[in-house]
Amino acid sequence: MTVMHQALPAYGFESAPYAHGEPLARADFKTRPEDFVVEEVLGFEPGGEGEHLFLLVQTDAHNTRHTQRCLARHFNVAKQAVSYSGMKDRRGLTSQWFSIHLPGKAIEPDADELAQQGFNVLRWQRHNKKLRIGTHKYNRFHIVLRNLSQIERLNSRLPELKNLGVPNYFGAQRFGHGGANIEEALQWVEQGKLPADRLLRSRVLSTLRGWLFNGVLADRVANGTWNQWQDQDLIQLNGTQSFFTEPQWDDQLQQRFLSDDIHLSAYLAGCDQAGTIPDQMLLLFNQARMEAEPRPLRLKAQQLRWNGDANALQIQFNLQKGAYATSVLRELVLLNDRSGQQEQI
């Protein structure tokens, strides 16, 4: 690893500091597909006519890109004709919207054929526009934690997380198994160029952005300022990319912050950040012409509620797009994978 690598924050996800202290409660996680259910909420209804067929598809064994390829084969179109709004993980029961560009073709999905491939088609409707990345409004999570120890610790922490939120870290999914995406991205940084392949290019840039952001946020968590205004902080309007700065913090801003109308934010790295990120990384963002944009430091789980006991505790909440449920769970409980080995996520 080069000197440049060593000078950068070494935070992916697992090693990042806790805001509320390391949890004492433990639980089994994802022992069954229905223990982790994600519902993508568009926030609007397809119009009923147009060149694009919208599908709401549920699966428990396929990630977004695999589903995209299968839908392209099913409708006999190029993969690029199948669009989606957000990325979903393979593990868990997920429902997600896709759009298929079918101009002049009155085609409907063969639900039985797709079911044989592991896809449950919940809804379909025509629309006049394709789905684009980030179109959906939020994701709804239904999570079951089983075989809990020290559940009283967890029950006392849930209200704290509901009121104060958690650090808005990029989850482990962003960085690949064992952080492999970070090493891959840094190899391209050393070469001083981006890969030609579009998907690999996107992964390199998103990995670097997530890694750098987690480093900034982790430092704020470590010194106790992740939810306290600092001079020159970005102040982001809730649910938008709009932001502003203020020379000082006052009672009115504090009330807006407490009511979740605004959030303290930091930049996702871009080409206009000379002097704040290493020059070799800046070179890649310049090649991509990718501008910096704000991301909140704080993540608030909306409509958070829970019920159950130590055998099975059910937790439900909504998260804005781009946020990770694992960032909420990480501050709440130490999780065991299916084999029973401890996994901190």
Give the whole-angstrom CA distance, residue 189 versus residue 207.
12
Instruction: Reduce the DSSP state of residue 70 to 3 states and report it.
Output: helix
Residues 6+ apart with CB under 8 A from 246: 235, 253
- Say which amino acid occupies 191: Q
Residue with tokens 């913090």: 249
Amino acid at 71: L
Q: CA 287 to CA 271: how far, in whole Å?
A: 8
Active-site residue, 89 included:
yes
- Identify whether the C-beta of residue 81 lies closer than 8 Å to the C-beta of residue 101: yes
Closest CA to 248 of 225, 228, 230, 224: 230
Catalytic residue among 28, 35, 60, 89: 89
Contact 52, 101 (CB under 8 A): yes
CB 100 within 8 A of CB 53: yes
- Residues labelled as active-site residues: 89
